[in-house]
Structure 1
Amino acid sequence: MSSSRISVEQIKDELQLVRFSDRFRINDFVSGIEEYDLFIKKYAKEYDDKAISATHLLVSKKNADIISYMTLSSASIGVTPEERKNSDIEEIFFNSFPAIKVGKLAVDSNYRTKYKGIGSLMITLARGFAVDSVRFGIACRFIVVDADVENDPEVVEFYRKNGFLANERYSGKSQKTVSMRLDVFLQ
């Protein structure tokens, strides 16, 4: 699994995406970022139970290790007229557009080498959730994230490589995060 882009086809026999469950060894997950490790161990279940966010685990079919996790929630994003140029929403005059927010995305440090590119796969899976929501009659145009530059200064580049753009409307509002968006229907 050393390619820079892992596809669902490549991992389908080894890994599976499941909703959060404490039947997995949650306390064994170590991303190397204390805030993210604390979230999955202490808050993910409560937030799931209260419908604040939905945590999805990418787990090994072989040993049930958690390889990666992400939290998703409903959101909306303001997109300026300038940001809408050259897209099929240029003439839509809404102030905000429906989105799915990636609240947390982390990869277990023990699996970063074996599954290089797994973070990008998680973004692909989030995009699948967005597309599926449209199929089920719930509009979703963007995936949004507040890229956590406080804990990982390289994370903005990771999201850029995955097609995300910085949100002009929200730029400069925080020193800890960079607001970014991915148009689900543009490649």
Structure 2
Amino acid sequence: MKYLSTGEYEEILDHVSIEPFNKEFDVNSFDCGISDYNDFLKHDANYYQEKGISSVHLLIHNDSKDIIGYFALLTDAFLLDKEEKGEIELEIPFSSVPALKIGKLAVSKNHQEYHYGSFILFMCLGYAEALHEKGIACRFLTVDADIEFNEETPRFYESNGFDRNLHRQQKRKKSVSLRYDIYN
């Protein structure tokens, strides 16, 4: 992850906590600048959690109780072609590999004093590693980086160590599929 060695994540940890989404938090004050992402938190997150579609987590400022950001996680599997498997020395007779998917990730436009987005990615990596420690295979973090609102979104993930998925890459119009290899 991009800012791991800078000490910034330790500074962030001093004033935030990660909480599971619940209706008691004031989600109406959250604004990341993209209405679709604001609306997800306000209108869809609870339903998605109740129905087992994704697990939503909030990055909360310990003092103000502001929602600094949020992320949604869900299980995933994706395909690697022969060349991609060769690049990471993964000798398996199938193309499908297990992953933890970042379904949504957003940071409040009012909280830009740290690289909270990169910190959230680091936290997602921790969730993926926790699955592995519990005996659940998870080799990658994946994300379909939304380019509908910002064409530069994939660069944020790539700057944090994600690679583009090439296997049968569809002609996507609204997202770019990326992966982060937990083992590398």
How far did residue 184 of structure 1 move? 1.0
Supply the distance in 1 between the matched residues of 2:36 and 2:168 (Cα, whole angstroms).
Answer: 23
The percent identity for this pair of structures is 38
- Tell me the distance in 2 between the aligned counterparts of 1:6 and 1:39: 32
Q: 1:20 to 1:6 in 2, by over 3 A?
A: farther
- TM-score, with length taken from structure 2: 0.93
Task: Name the counterpart of 1:178.
Answer: 176
> Matches of 2:48 and 2:7 in 1, distance apart?
29
| 1:111 match | 111
Aligned equivalents of 1:120, 1:6: Cα separation in 2: 13
Query: Partners in 1 of 2:14 and 2:23 — Cα distance?
Result: 23
Say which SS state the counterpart of residue 167 (structure 2) adopts: helix
Q: What is the TM-score of this pair, normalised by structure 1? A: 0.92
The number of aligned residues is: 181
- Aligned equivalents of 1:93, 1:30: Cα separation in 2: 45
Query: For 1:83 and 1:133, how far apart are their aligned partners in 2?
Result: 24
Give the whole-Å Cα distance in 1 for the aligned partners of 2:53 and 2:25. Answer: 21
Matches of 1:66 and 1:16, distance apart in 2: 10
Tell me by how many angstroms 1:86 deviates. Answer: 3.3
* Counterpart residue number, 1:67: 68
Across the aligned residues of Structure 1 and Structure 2, the Cα RMSD in angstroms comes to 1.5
Amino acid at match of 2:132: V
- The one-character-per-residue Cα deviations of 1:24-77 (angstroms, maximum 9, x if unpaired) are 110100001111000000000111111100001000000110001000000101
Q: How far did residue 109 of structure 1 move?
A: 0.4
The residue that corresponds to 1:122 in the other structure is: 120
State the Cα distance separating 1:7 from its structure 2 match.
Answer: 4.2
1:145-160, aligned counterparts within 5 Å?
145-160=143-158
Query: In the aligned structure 2, how far is the partner of 1:163 from the partner of 1:61?
Result: 29
Structure 1 letter corresponding to 2:41: I
- Change in CA separation of 1:181 and 1:17 when aligned onto 2, cut-off 3 Å: same
User: What CA distance in whole angstroms lies between the structure 2 residues aligned with 1:6 and 1:119?
Assistant: 15
Q: Which runs of 5+ in 1 are unaligned?
A: none
Q: Report the AA paired with residue 22 of structure 2.
A: S
Q: Check the 8 A contact 1:101/1:143 in 2, yes or no.
A: yes
Q: Which runs of 4+ in 1 moved over 2 A?
A: 3-8, 170-173
Distance 1:185 1:64 in 2: 35
- d(CA) in 1 for partners of 2:7 and 2:63? 18
